[in-house]
Amino acid sequence: MEESPSPAAAAASSHVIREGDWAVLKRNEVFKAVAVVKRRKITFEKQWFYLDNAIGHIYGTTFEVTSGGSLQPKKRGEEMATETKEAGTDNRNIVDDGKSQKLTHDDIKALKDKGIKGQEIVQQLIENSTTFRDKTEFSQDKYIKKKKKKYEAVITIIKPSTRILSTMYYAREPGKINYLRYDTLAQMLTWGNVRAGNKMIVMETCAGLVLGAVMERMGGYGSIVHMYPGGGPVRTAANCFGFPESFFQTLYEFPLSKVNSVLSGTFSLNILPSEPEETMAMTEDSNGSLDDKQHPIQEADMECCAELAMESDQPEEQEMVDIPTEGEAFDNNKAKGTTDDKQKKQEKRRKKLIETAALLKDKDADGLIIASRFHPAPLLLSLLEFVAPSRPFVVYCQYKEPLLECYTKLREKGGVINLKLSETWLRHYQVLTDRSHPKLMMSGGGGYLLTGITVINEGVKTGDHAPQMAEEPTSKKRKLQEHV
């Protein structure tokens, strides 16, 4: 019987790049998530290479792309080779006439063909520049950075995290995550009291980024119910975290089309075994077991299904992620599935769906997080039914007006306290000697958050006793007048 690895060994191995892991490639401020697979060609920032030599190294190691697409660890001392102490005092006499560089394009190409490293090419460009030593120190630094970016093929491999992946998505395709900025996501995790052992409900259409952040924060302890629109969940970003299988055992997925049936107590899976999972919602709707008036989520559901169906035809989700979206991507080649395999998978999904419904029926969730492109009001009013009293909820929206409507409806309905609508503003600063100032380019906004805490709604009981309390002083006054 094989012994399980010790916690120290498991922690050490988690910091080492292994085959089958997810990793994030970084070059300057550009990121890309890929799977570490041997003999697989990776294209990143106009460079192609293989990750074979990176396996076994520690995350955070910087590699240089050599001839043949091989990665070689870059020594720290090599970065100081291009620095120079000689600098001019003024740039006013420097004329950009295109003749200051003695090396031609053909000369640089010949150096590359000889296999000379990018660091040496940059050094030769400096030596053959007639105006470099006349530039100020600041101009020299800019020149070196510009040439390094162009000629040095340097890649840093880092471990995926919420901060890294949210930065990657926000920089490259913010529309995929509803323009959710990483500082706003951090506040959502804080206001939602996301921690190990909780039972969380997450409704998001941010490519799985919010779901992955919650899973990372909980560390595989507790349970997460992921509400999704349409025929199946989209969790591309969540899979990029590279969570172990134990994390997914605590993840439960539930379609929005069945929320009403759970609330009304008519939840069932009366479908034929041969029918696909996508037809479950249609079967239940045809039985007429859903009540549109009681729970206003049905209209939002139809919009969700229609929009998600349009998205499924567009393979744009894979642009920054370089392998199939699902976590079992490495097992997809073994079997597209025989009929028996499909039936087993379908039966497993049905059992998981029944378990998820049982979790929701208890109505004791420890928190609710919503970050959807759909209108949050019907989602919030319905999903709050599953949250236990004295528990937090957080709703994110790119715009303020939908959250104002949520605020008004919650005030009218009751059952919540500490309602707060907030907006965050993030500003980056450049911190250099004599050159510290806010950066010129920054994000325009990070969206809005509606936060609050659930309580037991006793508005009906209070209303019954209110008239009696109002009449009491009048009756006492009449009795006093009769006695006099």
The residue written with tokens 């539930």 in the block is 254
The 10 Å CB-count burial string (b at 16+, else e) for 215-238 is: bbbbebebbbbbbbbbbebbbbbb
List, for the chain, all residue ranges whose pLDDT scores fall below the cut of 50.
1-2, 4, 7-8, 10, 80-82, 271-319, 323-336, 460-481, 483-484
pLDDT tens digits for range 64-123: 888 778 888 877 655 544 455 566 667 777 777 777 888 888 888 787 777 777 778 888
The edge-to-edge listing of strands for the beta sheet with 416-423 is: 251-255, 223-228, 199-204, 367-371, 392-397, 448-454, 416-423
Question: What is the pLDDT at residue 108?
Answer: 81
Question: What is the pLDDT at residue 289?
Answer: 35
Question: What is the pLDDT at residue 88?
Answer: 65
- 117 within 8 A of 64, measured Cβ to Cβ: yes
C-alpha dist (Å) from residue 398 to 78, 446, 457: 45, 7, 29
- 88 within 8 A of 134, measured Cβ to Cβ: yes
Q: What structural domains and CATH numbers belong to the chain?
A: 19-158 (no CATH), 162-263+288-313+347-458 (3.40.50.150)
Dist CA 101 CA 29 (whole Å):
28
SS3 313: coil
Question: What is the pLDDT at residue 286?
Answer: 35
Beta-sheet pairing, 154-158 with 22-27: antiparallel
For residue 148, the 8-state DSSP code is H
Question: What is the pLDDT at residue 294?
Answer: 37
The residue written with tokens 């599935």 in the block is 337
Dist CA 202 CA 197 (whole Å):
15
